[in-house]
């Protein structure tokens, strides 16, 4: 199943009497290489044969299926006995098949044979006695010696797509009278990552564990996998910028015994799918998803901006790194969700760039309710300029970024320059020119800031943070009291509490 081109070619060879004596089956593990080799052996040795449709009931067919046929020898080249096995073959080739027409040797993991073993085999492959058929199976075609490859007919087995895997699982389930919904089969198939063998053996385990009635829940339990639905739900909450909702949802999943490490890796996989859809404009055929999921992926890829997907991937990478070091993924996962749903709470420089990018790439149509206010405030770029080239920038954002991001960037290059600029604040932004306002008492600072060396440093820093080359203008504030106090003034206790509540959904538990 799932290897139709290979099967067709072999069928034609059998019916046309053109069977070769050395085949090389190459392909990922679990795609049916040795299974097909056994079927080929049956086809050749069946009492009704050689036939493309072995009867499955004659003695030859049955012993081959049971692995007891004297004419079919399976060997694992990865085992220590590799070279001994080859010697044995060479000693026995003179013997005729016990009952069938052919002696079939199936060598698994053939790429692991030593050069010595291959050399011992080469002569046999070159001039094989007429009753001998070799099937070499390998997961690594590149490691098979060219001299061997040139003497074999090579078939490349492809990894099955999800629907094909589901079809096989359905066929097995119906044949074995296993009661299982399609949704559960899709989950099993997804976890098998393109290996028929893994998919079937997972189904086997599930059947044993559940007494023949497999449910979605039991699959999730066995695999520790996260239901696709949950991944879509988390991303929907991100679209809605619903921080509390996202955190509560993670809490619920943890309560239900969901492995949060698995959640992180599955979420990353889901984001990867969204990213592929966003950049390829279509759901790639190779993605292991069902038709229904395909549609949902398309929709979500539209709602969740490219910048958000990349940002969340970055943030989750931290959680993965933590897990590698044996850490708990929970906090980094929650932090990632807070940061991505509430960019304003994220003080890092990457976040500033992310917010600008978001404003730039997300059309208002895709912006969720919470974000709309902010987007509306974006000044329309002057019509004589092509808008997509520059991130649109708003004064409010620059003011917000001033202390947190811009000044630290300046400080990295020059501490005195940063000190001079600390008393200023962005007051106006128009026509690509930023006006910095200094308090009346700080005219000394203002004069220093205007010096070309300092002004250039600031322009570079602004460019680094915003991606825009801004002109600078300097002004002196009319009255110090006009300055909003909240911006730079240290927060009092009440203010800190408010910030905690606002940023982390903190609650006061004690006065």
Residues that bind Zn ion (CB under 5 A): 46, 54-55, 58, 61
Q: Where does 362-438 have alpha helices with state H?
A: 369-376, 395-401, 407-413, 415-421
- CA distance linking residue 345 with residue 241, whole number of Å: 12
Residue (48 or 153) nearer to Zn ion, CB = 48
Smallest gap from Cβ 63 to Zn ion, in A, equals: 10
Residue (61 or 304) nearer to Zn ion, CB = 61
Residue (45 or 293) nearer to Zn ion, CB = 45
Phi and psi (nearest 5°) for 313? -60, -45
Residue (61 or 461) nearer to Zn ion, CB = 61
Sheet architecture: strand order including 153-156: 72-76, 103-108, 132-138, 22-26, 153-156
Answer whether 449's CB lies under 8 Å from 437's CB: no
Smallest gap from Cβ 12 to Zn ion, in A, equals: 20
Q: How do the residues of the chain divide into helix, strand and coil, expressed in percent and rounded to 5?
A: 60, 10, 30
And the tokens for 187?
Answer: 């989950």
Q: DSSP readout, 49-62?
A: -S-SS--S-SHHHH
Smallest gap from Cβ 21 to Zn ion, in A, equals: 21
Smallest gap from Cβ 48 to Zn ion, in A, equals: 6
The DSSP bridge pattern shows strands 433-438 and 425-430 to be antiparallel
Residue (47 or 227) nearer to Zn ion, CB = 47
Smallest gap from Cβ 42 to Zn ion, in A, equals: 6
Residue (64 or 188) nearer to Zn ion, CB = 64
Residue 482: C-alpha distances to residues 351, 421, 440, 479 (Å) = 29, 19, 11, 6
Residue (61 or 371) nearer to Zn ion, CB = 61
- Which candidate, 32, 60, 57, 67, places its Cα nearest to that of 44? 60
444 Cβ neighbours under 8 A, 6+ residues apart: none
Answer whether 399's CB lies under 8 Å from 384's CB: no
Smallest gap from Cβ 61 to Zn ion, in A, equals: 3
Residue (13 or 61) nearer to Zn ion, CB = 61
Phi and psi (nearest 5°) for 14? -70, -50
Phi and psi (nearest 5°) for 335? -60, -40
Smallest gap from Cβ 72 to Zn ion, in A, equals: 13
Residue (55 or 254) nearer to Zn ion, CB = 55
Smallest gap from Cβ 155 to Zn ion, in A, equals: 23
Smallest gap from Cβ 54 to Zn ion, in A, equals: 5
- CA distance linking residue 149 with residue 108, whole number of Å: 15
Distance, C-alpha 341 to centroid of its chain: 21
């Amino acid at each position: 199943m799932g290897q139709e081109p290979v099967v067709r070619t072999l069928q034609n060879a059998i019916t046309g009497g053109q069977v070769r004596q050395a085949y090389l089956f190459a392909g990922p593990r679990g795609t049916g290489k040795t299974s097909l080799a056994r079927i080929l052996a049956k086809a050749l040795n069946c009492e009704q044969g050689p036939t493309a449709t072995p009867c499955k009931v004659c003695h030859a067919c049955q012993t081959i299926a049971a692995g007891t046929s004297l004419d079919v020898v399976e060997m694992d080249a990865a085992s220590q006995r590799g070279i001994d096995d080859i010697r044995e073959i060479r000693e026995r080739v003179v013997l005729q098949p016990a009952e069938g027409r052919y002696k079939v040797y199936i060598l698994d993991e053939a790429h692991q044979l030593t050069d010595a073993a291959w050399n011992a085999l080469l002569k046999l492959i070159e001039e094989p006695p007429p009753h001998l058929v070799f099937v070499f199976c390998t997961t690594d075609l590149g490691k098979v010696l060219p001299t061997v490859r040139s003497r074999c007919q090579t078939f490349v087995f492809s990894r099955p797509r999800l629907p094909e895997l589901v079809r096989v699982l359905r066929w097995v389930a119906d044949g074995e009278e296993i009661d299982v919904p399609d949704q559960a089969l899709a989950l099993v198939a997804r976890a098998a990552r393109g290996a028929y063998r893994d998919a079937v053996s997972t189904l086997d385990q599930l059947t044993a564990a559940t007494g023949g009635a497999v449910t979605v829940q039991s699959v999730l339990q066995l695999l520790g996998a996260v239901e696709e639905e949950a991944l879509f739900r988390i991303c929907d909450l991100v679209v809605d910028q619903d921080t509390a909702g996202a955190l509560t949802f993670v809490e619920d999943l943890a309560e239900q015994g969901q492995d949060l490490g698995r959640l992180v890796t599955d979420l990353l996989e889901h984001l990867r799918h969204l990213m592929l859809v966003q950049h390829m404009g279509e759901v790639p055929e190779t993605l292991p998803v069902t038709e229904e999921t395909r549609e949902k992926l398309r929709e979500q890829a539209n709602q969740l901006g490219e910048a958000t997907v990349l940002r969340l991937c970055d943030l989750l990478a931290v959680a993965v790194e933590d897990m590698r070091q044996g850490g708990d993924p929970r906090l980094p996962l929650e932090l990632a969700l807070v940061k991505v749903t509430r960019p304003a709470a994220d003080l890092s420089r990457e976040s500033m760039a992310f917010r600008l990018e978001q404003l730039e790439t997300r059309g208002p149509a895709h912006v969720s309710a919470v974000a709309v206010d902010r987007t509306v405030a974006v000044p329309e770029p002057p019509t004589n300029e092509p808008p997509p080239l520059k991130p649109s920038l708003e004064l409010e954002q620059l003011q917000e970024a001033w202390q947190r991001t811009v000044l630290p960037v300046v400080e990295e290059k020059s501490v005195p320059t940063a000190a001079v600029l600390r008393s200023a604040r962005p007051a106006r932004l128009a026509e690509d020119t930023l006006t910095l306002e200094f308090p009346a008492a700080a005219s000394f600072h203002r004069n220093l800031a205007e010096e070309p060396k300092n002004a250039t440093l600031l322009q570079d820093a602004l460019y680094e943070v915003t991606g825009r080359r801004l002109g600078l203008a300097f002004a002196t504030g009319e009255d110090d009291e006009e300055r909003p106090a909240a911006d730079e003034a240290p927060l009092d206790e009440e203010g800190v509490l408010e910030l905690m509540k606002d940023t982390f959904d903190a609650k006061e538990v004690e006065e």
